[in-house]
């Protein structure tokens, strides 16, 4: 390969991104659950649309490994993830994925599986799904983790991991936050408990700049504008450590977007337009008025996204 072409290929792959899609239920007759459900027909159509658009299906572990080791993650990758372990996944989606040999990751809500809640898979079904995909953890009790004390979060996680290991025979490496909800304390606690990567439903694509402990996923349901969502891009944004007490100064810069402004979500009713000067911006945030997770969401008109916690490591 000529040096110039090599450089071009190298740059393209280094800045490549992957779309991690997040599904829940696959019932064909659940109109009331539209926000977490998709019919099997529509699911099959989405898989076909991804293929027609030139996407390749990747395992979650291959994408995580690439990101964590700063390796190129490849072009046009899609990753299928499924939360909770609903029976409809086993009955409707698994046969489609198996038949088309599409890899997937299932995040298990352990209490529901272990206590045989109606609508959920049992351990035998989870194990069988594990022959075709990767199986990881989605908490024990599926609570909003930001409302638990550190001791409660540790207990929930320890219990979930013990049951998971007992039935699956290995320790789960990855975790998906229930409802996608997290804050700085939750993230630090789970990180300290040994997970290699943790997944949100912060909208966006993942790339080398993604935080492995709050990886973006695109939540998909019956009403998702799928053709738009598979085009979302990561926003490469660097935030400095915010300074000040109640009123914090937030400074940052954007490297992969050439527009004049970006938007920043602070709280309900407070989404701002930030002016970029040579890619940099500065603003202030009142800590009494920021959303309860203390998470700023940055996005652009051309559908680049990235969420950042105001507290940093
Ligand atoms: Zn869930």
pTM surpassing 0.75? yes
Residue 5 has pLDDT above 70, yes or no: no
pLDDT band at 6 (very low <50, low <70, confident <90, very high): very low
Residue 3 CA to residue 13 CA, distance in Å, equals: 15
What pairing do the DSSP bridges indicate for beta strands 104-108 and 134-137? parallel
Dihedral pair phi/psi, residue 234, rounded to 5°? -75, 150
Rounded CA separation 135/165 (Å): 11
Which among 175, 181, 185 has a CA at the least distance from the CA of 152?
Answer: 185
Using the mean position of ligand 1's atoms as its centre, give its distance from the Cα of residue 296 in Å. 22
Whole-number Å distance, alpha carbon 283 to ligand 1 midpoint, is: 34
13: pLDDT strictly greater than 50: no
Q: What number of CA atoms fall less than 13 Å from residue 171's CA on the CB side? A: 7
Q: Copy the structure tokens of residue 126.
A: 């989870």
For residue 7, how far is its CA from the centre of ligand 1 (angstroms)? 42
- CA dist 74 and 184 (Å) reads 30
- Compute φ and ψ for 206, nearest 5 degrees: -100, 145
Q: How far is the CA of 180 from the centre of ligand 1 (A)?
A: 8
Centre of ligand 1 from the C-alpha of residue 84, in Å? 5
Does residue 292 register a pLDDT over 50? yes
Asked if 114 and 163 touch (Cβ cutoff 8 Å), the reply is yes
Tell me the domains of the chain and their CATH numbers. Answer: 3-232 (3.20.20.370), 237-309 (2.60.40.10)
Give the span between the Cα atoms of 176 and 193, in whole angstroms: 14
Distance in Å, CA 138 to ligand 1 centroid: 7
Mean pLDDT check: name the lowest of 12-21, 54-63, 288-297: 12-21
Each residue of 250-276: pLDDT tens digit? Answer: 999 999 999 999 999 999 999 999 999
Q: How far apart, in whole angstroms, are the C-alpha atoms of residue 128 and residue 94? A: 10
**Cα four-point dihedral sign 161, 162, 168, 171:** positive
**DSSP conformation class of 29:** S
Alpha helix positions (H), the chain: 3-14, 40-52, 60-68, 87-88, 94-99, 110-114, 123-129, 150-168, 184-192, 226-229
The SS3 assignment for 178 reads helix
Q: How far is the CA of 142 from the centre of ligand 1 (A)?
A: 6
The tens digit of pLDDT for each residue in 100-152 reads 999 999 999 999 999 999 999 999 999 999 999 999 999 999 999 999 999 99
């Amino acid at each position: 390969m000529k040096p110039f072409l090599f450089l071009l290929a190298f740059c393209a792959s280094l800045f490549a991104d992957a779309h991690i899609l997040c599904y829940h239920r696959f019932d064909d007759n659940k109109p009331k659950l539209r926000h977490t459900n998709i019919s099997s027909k529509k699911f099959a159509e989405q898989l076909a649309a991804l293929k027609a658009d030139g996407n390749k299906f990747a395992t979650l572990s291959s994408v995580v490994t690439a990101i964590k080791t700063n390796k190129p993650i490849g072009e046009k990758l899609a990753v299928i993830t499924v939360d909770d372990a609903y029976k409809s996944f086993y009955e409707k989606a698994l046969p489609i994925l198996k038949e088309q040999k599409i890899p997937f990751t299932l995040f298990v809500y352990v209490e529901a599986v272990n206590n045989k809640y109606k609508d959920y898979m049992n351990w035998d079904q989870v194990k069988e799904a594990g022959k075709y995909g990767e199986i990881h953890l989605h908490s024990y009790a599926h609570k909003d983790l930001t409302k638990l004390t550190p001791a409660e979060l540790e207990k929930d996680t320890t219990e979930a991991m013990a049951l998971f290991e007992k039935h699956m025979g290995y320790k789960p490496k990855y975790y998906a936050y229930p409802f996608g909800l997290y804050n700085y304390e939750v993230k630090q606690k789970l990180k300290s408990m040994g997970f290699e990567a943790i997944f949100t439903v912060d909208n966006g694509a993942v790339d080398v700049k993604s935080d492995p402990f709050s990886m973006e996923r695109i939540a998909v349901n019956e009403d998702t504008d799928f053709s738009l969502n598979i085009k979302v891009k990561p926003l490469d944004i660097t935030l400095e450590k915010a300074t000040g007490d109640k009123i914090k100064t937030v400074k940052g810069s954007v490297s992969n977007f050439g527009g004049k402004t970006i938007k920043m979500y602070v709280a309900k009713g407070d989404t701002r337009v930030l002016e970029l000067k040579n890619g940099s911006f500065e603003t202030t945030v009142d800590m009494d008025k920021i959303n309860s997770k203390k998470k700023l969401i940055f996005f652009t008109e051309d559908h680049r996204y990235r969420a950042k916690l105001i507290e940093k490591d």
